[in-house]
Amino acid sequence: MKNRCLVTLALSAAVLLPGSALPVPAESVPQAQANTLAQTLPPEERGDLLMARQQYAAAIDAYSLAPKSAVVWNKIGIAYHHLAAIDEARRDYERALLIRPNYPEAINNLGATYFAARNYKKAIKLYRNALRLMPTSAVIAANLGTAYFARGKYRQGIDAYRMAFHLDPNVFDDMNILPAIPGTTTAEDRAKQDYCLAELFAQAGMEDRAIEFLRQAFDEGFTDRNRVMQDVLFARLRTTAQFAQLMAEQKEH
């Protein structure tokens, strides 16, 4: 696992982990040995091990015994976030920021709680602040892009995604999510987001991912075939067999 305190959730807003490395994953040692090892660790390290084992409630109990710091409060917030206890997560991210106001991971993670609550304007403000403090974070840039899309700000969204790609071309793979907007967004909005992502992947020469997002755009109701055939960013993509197959499928529908 990478050392980042952006928590990776299936919510499409990634949460950043603290900068310390996690212990050896539990699956790499026998269960009984892992349990014995956990009991000998200091509370924060025990919490890290339990987080790696996805035992979030137990991790919270362990962290509660550790000396409180911005990093520990952020970790507790992440554990609650994984349990979908968003109010509790927000409370603990705010506690982290009372100790360290310019803590970019906690600011990003706080933004993720507002994103989950569909307060996209507040999420954007927090993500932008976090990115200003941590300008090399592809995950924060991707979060910002998703929040812009959620507000219908497609150009700003794709610009943020481009930044994320520039920082780490595998950012969405690493986050183990496809950037999807939760909540009450329309199929038309999601189709626009997917089309923009298809353009971005095509421009990066990642044809398989471009086809994937273009197919999703069609599935969400995108119908402008002429735009697809004339889009300069799809020039190379249009020469591939995958593109020909996709367009043949759409003609059948």
Residue 78 lies in a domain: yes
Residue 218 lies in a domain: no
- Domain CATH number, residue 113: 1.25.40.10
The answer, yes or no, to whether residue 119 has pLDDT greater than 60, is yes
Domain range enclosing 46: 5-135
Residue 38 lies in a domain: yes
Q: What percent of the chain clears pLDDT 90, i.e. is strictly above it?
A: 61
* Per-range mean pLDDT, top range of 38-47, 147-156, 166-175, 225-234: 225-234
User: pLDDT-based confidence at 169, cuts 50/70/90?
Assistant: confident
Tokens of 102: 């310019």
User: How many Å apart are CA 228 and CA 213, to the nearest integer?
Assistant: 13
Residue 200: the pLDDT is 87
Q: Kindly report the pTM of this predicted structure.
A: 0.80
Spatial contact of 145 and 17, defined as CB atoms under 8 Å apart:
no
Please tell me the total count of domains within the chain: 1
* Helix, coil or strand: residue 220: coil
Q: What percent of the chain clears pLDDT 70, i.e. is strictly above it?
A: 80
Residue 192 lies in a domain: no
